[in-house]
């Protein structure tokens, strides 16, 4: 039986989690810096135009990986990310 492996992404050097500028824009949606998402896509060999057609899975992966790294590095909790984590809400 396969086991879940940790999700990995290359994150851009010189940026912090806060640089994503995530914010809630609707009750069930968030907004973030898509220019930075484009950089992350490029680093990871992802087609940004395809990601924009259905951003949910990639954006969720970016937020999950980067936020875990942020916390592991001693970063302060982010109120919106903690809310999303505690509610189990999917990030749109």
Element (H, E) at 70: helix 56-72
List pLDDT tens digits, range 81-90: 999 888 765 5
Residue whose C-alpha is closest to residue 6's, from 92, 72, 88, 76: 72
> pTM higher than 0.75, yes or no?
yes
Average pLDDT over residues 54-59: 93
């Amino acid at each position: 039986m396969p086991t879940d492996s940790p999700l990995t992404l290359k994150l851009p050097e010189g940026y912090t989690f806060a640089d994503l500028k995530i914010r809630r824009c609707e009750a069930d949606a968030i907004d973030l810096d898509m220019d930075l998402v484009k950089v992350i896509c490029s680093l990871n060999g992802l087609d940004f135009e395809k990601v924009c057609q259905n951003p949910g899975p990639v954006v969720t992966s970016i937020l999950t990986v980067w936020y875990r790294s942020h916390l592991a590095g001693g970063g302060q909790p982010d109120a919106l990310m903690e809310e999303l984590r505690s509610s189990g809400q999917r990030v749109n």
